[in-house]
Amino acid sequence: MDPRLIALELFLTELDIPVKINSLGDRKRVQKAVYLGQLTGVDLGYRFGWYLMGPYSPALTRDYYALAESLESDESELAGKRLHPSVSQRLRRIRQLLDVPSEIPLLQEDWLELLASYHFLRHVRGLSHDDAALQLNLHKPHLAKYTDAAADSLYEFRLLSGR
C-alpha cells in the first residue's frame, strides 16, 4: 500500500473516524476530519478549497477511494505501523472536538461540516464572526443556528485564536 494511504488510515484511526466511505455522510466526515486534524500541525499535504459542503480536497477524495479499494482487497499494511507519539498526541488533543456536543441535535458529519466551514470562513477567507455566521446562514441554514457553539469549540480547542 502507498505510504500516503497508510498515513491517512493511521491519521483517521487516531481521530476515531471510520475509514468507510459508503455514503455521502461518510465521505463528508472524512473530508472534514482531515481538514480539522491538519489544523493541529499534522500536515498530510491535503489542500482544501471551498465547495458546496465546505472545505474540500480533491486529492483527499482520490486517496480515500484508493484506501477503500486497498482495504477491500485486504491490503491494509498497518501491522506494526504507528504514528509518531507527538503526532498521535496532537490528534488525540482534538478527538473530543469531533464529537457532537450532547445539546446539539446534529449528526457527526454535519457538526464537522459546521466546524470546518466556520474555520475556513474565518481563517482562510478572513471573515469576521458576524460575516462568517451570515455566510453560514445563507448557504447552510440547517447548521447556522449552531454557529456560536462551533466557534466556541474551535476556540476552546485552540484551532482559532484572537476572538
Give me the pLDDT at residue 159, please. 96
Q: Using 50, 70 and 90 to split pLDDT, how confident is the model at 83?
A: confident
Could you read off the pLDDT of 99-117 as tens digits, one per residue?
A: 999 999 999 999 999 999 9
Q: Which residues pair with 49 in a beta bridge?
A: 56
Residue-range domain boundaries for the chain: 3-156
Give the mean model confidence (pLDDT) for residues 41-70. Answer: 95
| pLDDT at res. 60 | 98
Give the integer Cα–Cα distance in Å for 109 and 100: 9
What is the pTM assigned to this prediction?
0.94
Among 161, 162, 157, which residue's Cα sits nearest to residue 36?
157
Mean pLDDT, rounded, for 66-93: 82
Task: Return phi, psi of residue 54, to 5°.
Answer: 100, -155
